[in-house]
């Protein structure tokens, strides 16, 4: 399976899940054969502020590759800036934008699925 130039050897992916897909769980899933793993989703605002807790959530090891980093936010410019920072700081294989989260804590800020309301 290919995503652009990225070749995935096993089509079993670990989906990005807040509070679940931390480093330990990603390693476990890779050891069990996951073809690709994702970080927990992280706030674009947290990234551009260089919040240490946020940055620690997306740090990864070479063993975890291929890996995707999922970001969420309410401002396309901030999200673009955050995506560039993530690429520059961590060089993940993929950047994923969260437009599906229905959790009120996220949507009340205009992020997640709320970002698609005006389409």
- What is the DSSP pairing of strand 67-72 with strand 37-38? parallel
Give the largest CA-CA distance in the chain: 41
29 tagged catalytic:
no
Active-site annotation holder among 101, 106, 111, 115: 101
**Cβ-based neighbours of 57, under 8 Å, separated by 6 or more:** 22, 39, 40, 42
| Active site amino acids | 101
């Amino acid at each position: 399976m290919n995503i652009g130039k990225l070749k995935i050897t096993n089509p079993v992916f670990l989906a990005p899940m807040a509070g679940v897909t931390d480093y330990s769980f990603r390693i476990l899933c890779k050891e069990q054969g996951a073809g690709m793993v994702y970080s927990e989703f992280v706030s674009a605002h947290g990234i551009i502020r260089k919040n240490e807790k946020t940055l620690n959530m997306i740090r990864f090891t070479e063993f975890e590759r291929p890996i995707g980093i999922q970001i969420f936010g309410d401002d396309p410019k901030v999200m673009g800036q955050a995506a560039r920072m993530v690429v520059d700081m961590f060089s993940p294989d993929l950047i994923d934008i969260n437009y599906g989260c229905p959790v009120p804590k996220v949507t009340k800020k205009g992020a997640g699925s709320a970002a698609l309301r005006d389409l």
